[in-house]
Structure formats: structure tokens, C-alpha cells
Structure 1
Amino acid sequence: MARSESELILVAGGAGFIGSHLVARLLDEGREVLCLDNLQTARPSNLRLLQGRPGFRFVEHDIVLPLPETVTAQAHRITRVYNLACAASPPQYQADPEHTMLTNVVGTHHLLRLAEKAGARFLLTSTSEVYGDPEVHPQREDYRGWTSCIGPRSCYDEGKRAAEALTFDYARMDRAEIRVARIFNTYGPQMHPDDGRVVSNLICQALSDRPITIYGDGSQTRSFCYVSDMVDGLIRLMEAEDPALRQQPVNLGNPVELTVRDLADRVVEMTGTRNQVVYLPLPQDDPRRRRPDIGRAAELLGWTPVVTLEEGLQKTCAWFADELAMDREVLAAE
């Protein structure tokens, strides 16, 4: 699609892991993108990859606060609002739980009001965490979840559930046209090496001199989606016209399920590491099983992941190896 002076896409959290890949894909398609990010958890290098590209603009802002005039003055041009603004790994969102909750609720409210004013379509990136430690497997969108509203993860889990409720209320009141994605574990280049997510943890440990850490006995399962597949799903969801999407969330994730121990074994084999494997206590409320039912995405979006775990892990390991090598060169030069 050719770039139009009259159309602008706002991506909140656009300097983050998934957000930066989404922005890059939209720019590749010739779209003009306004990236909004407070840079609290984003890697500065993600932003540097985007700056200077035709059609890209950046505003540093925390969506917990009212949107600045530099954004609201562009409302007449905004046709799409993607909300990816929230720390997504447990160590990051638990570091400031109040801010995490406010980002999900107050921040979503600010962006919904902007979408209402602009007449723009709004997409909320929710999470598989709304299912908690599920009693139903795999997880379908009509499953209401098994979450703790008072545990250490609740700032994120309950924050996203509240954000969904607010978003669907806007739809019911015809105040905004909305889409809601429930994102399952996603991985790939441009992840933060210290974000505490299992893929980045294992790969960075394997490529350095640190022990390989597995929480619990490693029998808990996850399903890992490569970031390019996730971005494709988000764009398909935003642009799909099926009226059903205004009334129900859509799971986006890879339905191939494996144990954390199996993932660790694959990373060890792929990297050739001989690092010691250390088992640590399982964090409170950590889900035992996680696997999406993506039937709704397949039916309404024509979307299924295409990148295999082996291919995705190879690309991610290669990227982290390059990043860690550059970090070592910088330290050696200091």
C-alpha cells in the first residue's frame, strides 16, 4: 500500500519487542507510523533500528498520563491504534505492579478515547495470562480462566482482563470499533536479554558462562510463536472485516506444545553449551500448561503460524550470539 498523507497508524509500545517488529512491518508496507513508548522496558537498539526510516515518527510518552498534544493534534489522521504498551515479562511487570495495572487500565482508556475521537479502529494486545493456571486444555477464547486476583502476577493478569472489559464496553456502546488479541508466548530477535522470559533466559545463559536455570522440574508446558508469525496475526486481526471480531477475542500463538525441559534441551543442543543445569523453585501462580486453541484465528483470519520452532530458535540464537559478541567488544574497548 502506498503511503498516504491522510492516514496515520499509532503503535503504543512500538519500541518494545513485538511492537518494534510490528512497526517495521507496517513501514515495509509503506504506512506512516507514530510510535508511542515510555522506553521503560524497550531496548534502545530497537528504536535505533526504526529511527530515520521514511514514515516513522516517535513520541516518548507514558500512556498512564494524558496523551500529549503532539499526538491528539494528529487524531484526524489516525485510522488505526495498536495498544502493545505494557511490560510483558514477570520480572518487569512485577517490578512496579501499580504502574503495570495503571498502564493496562488507565493507559488503555486514554488510547480508546483517542480511537473514539479519531474514528479509528483499536486493537488491544491482551494475553494468554488471562487464562491463569488453566483447568481447560488447550485454551479456547470462551474459557473464563483460573487466575488469582491477589497474587504477584495479578497486576498483569487482572490488568489485562480489566483492559479487555473496558475495550468491549467501548464496542458495546458503539464508541469505537475494536479488536482484541490474546497473545501466547512469543520469541525472536530484539528480545531484551534480561527480561526474564524463558527463551531469552535459556539462550543467553547457554551463550555465556551462566548456569542454565529451569524453574520447577521443567515439566510445565508452553507454546512458542515466532515473532514474524505473531505480527502477521496482529495485522490480519486489525484489518479483518468480519463483524464477529468486534465482539470476541482471538487467540494468537503457536499450538505446538512442549515442556520447558524439552525447550532447554533444544537450546543446549543448538548452542553446544556445556553449562550446568540448575533447578530453582517454581514461581507462585506459574501456569502448569499453556497451549492456544487457534481455531478462531484460522477461521476468521486465515492465520496459522508458519515458522517452525527449530527455524525460529536458530534465528534467535544467531541474533543473541551477535548481540552478546558486540557487548563483549564494547566492554573490552572500555
Structure 2
Amino acid sequence: METQKIMVTGGSGFIGTNLVNELENRGHEVLAVDLLHNDRDNYIRADVKNYRQIERLFDNDKFDYIYHLAAEYGRWNGEEYYENLWQTNVIGTKHMIRLQEKLGFRMIFFSSAEVYGDYNGIMSENVMEDNPIKDTYQMNDYAITKWAGELMCMNSATMFDTETVRVRPVNCYGPHEHYTPYKGFIPIFIYKSLFDQPYTVYEGHKRIIDYVEDSARTFANIIDNFIPGEVYNVGGKQEWEKDIKEYSDIVLDAVGKDDSLVTYHEAEAFTTKVKTMDFTKAIQDLKHDPQVNPEEGIKKTVDWMKWYYRIE
């Protein structure tokens, strides 16, 4: 494919960093935009909540594609800091859509598998359009803001003929995901284990995880087969689905610790217990082909965290 000029909002974040690396390795010209400071040559600091800051990025540049990842992440982060969540995830996305309507670039909007809520069935992409709201009731503000973003993208496509592909990542993990209490369960388990801190495992919750470099490769493939209006689940292989406790055991084994500091509970608020995902469309359209299984990926992530936090 010929070289494309691409902007990645949230380009200093976890998925964004890996995606920027993948796109650059393919020879594309990439600009990373983020609130987080970064020493990369191709980085500009801007806040998607501020229309002026984003608009000026287009003053002297024309972009073929925008990967819009900039967002406040996580259900508990969203419950405790809902002002930031709604301003970034909804107002920030609206700013990007307004610019898209004005300038005509193609956009890849990053939603979340959280939009499926507590749907009792296989979570294929058409579930959200084919079922009543009560069957896909979002469980937390984070999920609601992501679904609002999707609705705005679809509305803009109808009203202004904008071209957007939506993706719903499913439990990405791996290098460049630093610890905070609001991150996914894999980095939390690893960090707590490395520093001998207690953590809680909610039993009966099942998930499929996907190593971020595998996901980033699929996300980068979108511009090779860009189908306006499409939406894709992107995650690991079905046979990798495990109980959260199994993932905790894999982490403890990789770190070399026992579970004496782990507390086990039955259920967690604001969450879906089981997500049965369908990745067929991503496999067919985007050549999605995860290679790194959970045991290997968690070991790689442990090694990265040891390096990042300077643990011998």
C-alpha cells in the first residue's frame, strides 16, 4: 500500500503507542497527538476536549486517515471522574467528527466491547442494531460514552456522508500499559504481584484477552481494506477464553508468587460476567490472526513491567 498520512489521537497511550509503532513500521507518515507528554519527533500535545487545539493541527497538514483513540478509559475511572470521561469521550469525539465533516478525512473510531452491556448471547457486531436497548443495556458510564461516540459517527455518516470504521477492542494487554488502579485486570494483577500488594479476583467472570501487538496489526490493516460504516470486534482466539482466576494464576506463575495476597469474590459491580465474542468479520476483512497466546503474552508483559519499573 502507498504511504498514507495518518493522525493518531491518544498516540501516547497504551494502544496508541503500539499502533503508531506498527503504522510507522509499514512506512506511513504518522503524527501522534496526546495530552501526555512525549519525546517522539512525531508528537504534538493537544487536548481533544479543546476544539481550537485540535483544529490547528490541520492548519498546514492534510491527513488521509485519523485513528481516534483519545479517551478516558475504564469503568471505575468513569464512575469517579465522570466529568472528564464525558468531556473527553463524547465532546472530544464530537470535535473530531465536526472536523471530519469539514475536511473529509476518513476516521477509525475506537469504541469498546463494553457497549454490549450484559447481552445474553454471542456478541457479534450486529447485536447493537438488531436488538432492543433493554437487551444491550450498558453497565457503566464508560460504556455509555463509547456507544454515544458510535451513534454520533453513524449519524454523521447519514447526514454528511462522512466515512468511518468503528472498532470494539476486547481486553487488550501488553507492553506500554502502565499501572493505574483503573486499568484492565492483567496490568493490575502483574503490578500488584510484582510489588507484593494484595488484589481481588472476581470468580465466575470469563474473558478473552488479546496481546496488543496482535491487535495493533489488525487495526493497522483497516486502511488496507477500509469499508465505510463497518464495525469490528477485535480480540483474541475463542479457545483462549478463561476465567479471571485462571489469568491470575498465569500471572502469579510468571511472576513467581503464590496467591496468599489474593482475595476471591463472586461478583463485581458495573461489569458483565461473561462476554462471548464473535471475531469473524475482523478475520475475514482485516486478516485478524492473533499469534501470542495468554501464557506467552503475559510473560512478555511481566518482562516489560519489570524493565519499566526497574525490578531485578
| TM-score, length-scaled by structure 1 | 0.83
Distance in 2 between the 1:104 and 1:165 partners? 12
Distance in 2 between the 1:100 and 1:252 partners? 23
1:272 aligned to which of 249, 253, 256: 256
Corresponding position: 1:159 with 2:156: no
1:121, 1:238 within 8 Å by CA — same for their partners in 2?
A: no
1:13 matched to which residue of 2?
10
Change (3 A) 1:37 1:257: same
Q: SS of the counterpart of 2:70?
A: coil
2:157, 2:164 within 8 Å by CA — same for their partners in 1?
A: yes
1:143 matched to which residue of 2?
127
1:252 aligned to which of 230, 234, 248: 234
Q: Which amino acid aligns with 1:267?
A: V
Instruction: Give 1:274 deviation, angstroms.
Output: 2.8
Structure 1 stretches of 5 or more lacking a match?
329-334
1:91, 1:196 within 8 Å by CA — same for their partners in 2?
A: no
1:332 matched to which residue of 2?
none
Distance in 1 between the 2:16 and 2:276 partners? 23
Distance in 2 between the 1:239 and 1:88 partners? 28
Structure 2 stretches of 5 or more lacking a match?
none
Corresponding position: 1:175 with 2:161: yes
After superposition, the C-alpha distances for 1:172-217 in whole angstroms (9 at most, x for unaligned) are 23431110001110000111212432001111122111124213xx
Runs of 4+ with >6 A deviation? none
After superposition, the C-alpha distances for 1:91-140 in whole angstroms (9 at most, x for unaligned) are 33333212212322221121122223332111100100000122113x11
Task: Give the % identical residues.
Answer: 28
Which of structures 1 and 2 has the larger relative contact order (alpha carbons within 8 angstroms, sep 6+)?
Answer: 2
Distance in 2 between the 1:79 and 1:223 partners? 33
1:30 matched to which residue of 2?
27
Instruction: Give 1:275 deviation, angstroms.
Output: 4.8
Tell me which moved more, 92-101 or 194-203: 92-101
Q: SS of the counterpart of 2:65?
A: strand
2:204, 2:243 within 8 Å by CA — same for their partners in 1?
A: yes
RMSD across aligned positions (CA): 2.2
2:199, 2:263 within 8 Å by CA — same for their partners in 1?
A: yes
Q: SS of the counterpart of 1:181?
A: strand
Q: SS of the counterpart of 1:269?
A: helix
Corresponding position: 1:117 with 2:99: no
Q: SS of the counterpart of 1:110?
A: helix
Aligned residue pairs, count: 302
Corresponding position: 1:200 with 2:194: no
Distance in 1 between the 2:171 and 2:177 partners? 12
Distance in 2 between the 1:238 and 1:179 partners? 10
Q: Which amino acid aligns with 2:233?
A: N
